[in-house]
Every structure is written in C-alpha cells, then in structure tokens.
C-alpha cells in the first residue's frame, strides 16, 4: 500500500521538485499540492494523506498555524507533518515541535534524506537529525528557551519509561535505546509507545519537547 504524501510550499519550483521526487518512488503517491497554509489544511482534510511536507513560511496561513489546525483535528490523527525549514534551527522550530511536527528537513536536503523522512514519518517515527538535536540541547542549556514545569503526566510513567523518555530526548532511535538499556528493539518501542499514550504525545517529536521541558535531559 502506497504512502500518500501532500506537499505544501508557496514556491512552485519547490512543489514541482518534491512532487517529481515522490512520483518517482513505487511506494509513494502524491496526494496533492498546496501553495499556502490554508490550502494545505483544506487539502489534508479532503485527502487525508499519510504525510505532509509543510513549508514554514507561506502566505495566507503560515506552516505552524496550519500544523496546529491539523494536529487539533481528531479526524486527521493519522496524518504526520514534516516541517521544511531553510535553516537547521530558526524561531519556528520549538513552536513546530510543540504543535506536533513529526520532524524537520532542511530544504536543500539530499533527495534520499527527504524520502527517508517521509517513510519514517509514515511509520510514526520522527526525523530529528543529530545536528538539530544538538542545537535544541544548546538552546535549552543556554536558557534561550523557557523551561516549563515538568509535564503532569510524568507521575504516571514507570521508572523505565522515564528512562526511555530521557533517551528519546537525547535523540536516540529505538535501536539505540535498546542497545543502551540492553533490551530488544521491540521492548524499546513498547516503552516509547506507552510513554506517548500516558503523556498524550502525538508523536516522538513531542516526547523530545516534554523530556527537555521536564528537565530529564541536561
């Protein structure tokens, strides 16, 4: 079954490039294109794509506002949004993570990285590259991002789930978490899934935010 992908960008050349990239893959299918955030929300509500590649800066409605509308609609819970940015960390990154972005891609990423991000997002995973994760850590350490009180749902986590949450916050994949804790990848995935449910996190990227804001990553 093909992964249905929508593209939202105000630059026609970018939309065409992404659309051609998607069409060339046997396991991907283009669900449609949008030139602004409002069109993107309407497209997602109409087509219910698995993944949306969403530009941050668009007219009419920006990508973050569109992302919030999609994330707030229970009927669109199956759609994952990958945010496209010009820089690895701009003023929108933390807003996008909190709003439920499944990950970030730099617009000049290699085609293979774009395709990998789409497939990861479709599986419910997130793409937070090591360079982005390092910058997130630096921003929190430097105090440039306000640290909020610990998430109220932390009390519902087991000690192992808290440990796994901290490792997710460090940017570790399920396989890396499994290696660190000496458990199977399936067990690591189970712990991550349970933490997501208990913390009402839409996806792995939101777990990263919760881990930082709760002080589990220093």
Residue-range domains of the chain with CATH: 3-127 (3.40.50.2300), 139-213 (1.10.10.10)
Q: What is the pLDDT of residues 159-192, one digit of tens each?
A: 999 999 999 887 787 888 999 999 998 999 899 9
Specify the pLDDT at position 109.
Answer: 80
d(CA 14, CA 129): 21
Specify the pLDDT at position 129.
Answer: 55
**What confidence category does residue 13 fall into, taking pLDDT thresholds of 50, 70 and 90?**
very high
Residues 8 and 41 sit within 8 Å (Cβ to Cβ)? no
Average pLDDT value over all residues in the chain? 84
Mode of pairing for the β-strands spanning 3-8 and 51-55: parallel
Residue 18 has pLDDT above 70, yes or no: yes
Whether the full predicted model's pTM is greater than 0.85, yes or no, is no
Q: What is the pLDDT of residues 48-95, one digit of tens each?
A: 999 999 998 899 999 999 999 998 898 998 899 998 887 655 566 767
Residues 147 and 212 sit within 8 Å (Cβ to Cβ)? yes
SS3 category, 55: strand
């Amino acid at each position: 079954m093909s992964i249905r992908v929508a593209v939202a960008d105000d630059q026609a050349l970018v939309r065409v490039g992404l659309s051609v990239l998607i069409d060339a893959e046997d396991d991907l299918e283009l669900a449609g294109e949008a030139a602004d955030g409002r069109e993107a929300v309407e497209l997602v509500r109409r087509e219910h794509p698995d993944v949306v590649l969403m530009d941050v800066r668009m007219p009419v409605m920006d990508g973050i506002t569109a992302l919030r509308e999609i994330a707030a609609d229970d009927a669109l819970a199956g759609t994952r949004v990958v945010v496209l940015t010009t820089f690895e960390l701009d003023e929108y990154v933390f807003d996008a993570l909190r709003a439920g972005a499944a990950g970030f891609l730099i617009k000049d990423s290699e085609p293979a990285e774009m395709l990998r991000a789409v497939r990861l997002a479709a599986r419910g995973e997130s793409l937070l590259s090591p360079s982005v994760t390092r910058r997130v850590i630096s921003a929190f350490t430097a105090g440039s991002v306000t640290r909020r009180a610990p998430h109220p749902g932390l009390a519902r986590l087991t000690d192992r789930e808290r440990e796994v949450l901290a490792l997710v916050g460090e940017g570790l994949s399920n396989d890396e978490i499994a290696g660190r804790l000496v458990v199977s990848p399936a067990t690591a995935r189970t712990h991550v899934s349970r933490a997501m449910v208990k913390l009402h996190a839409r996806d792995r990227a939101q777990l990263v935010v919760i881990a930082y804001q709760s002080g589990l990553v220093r």
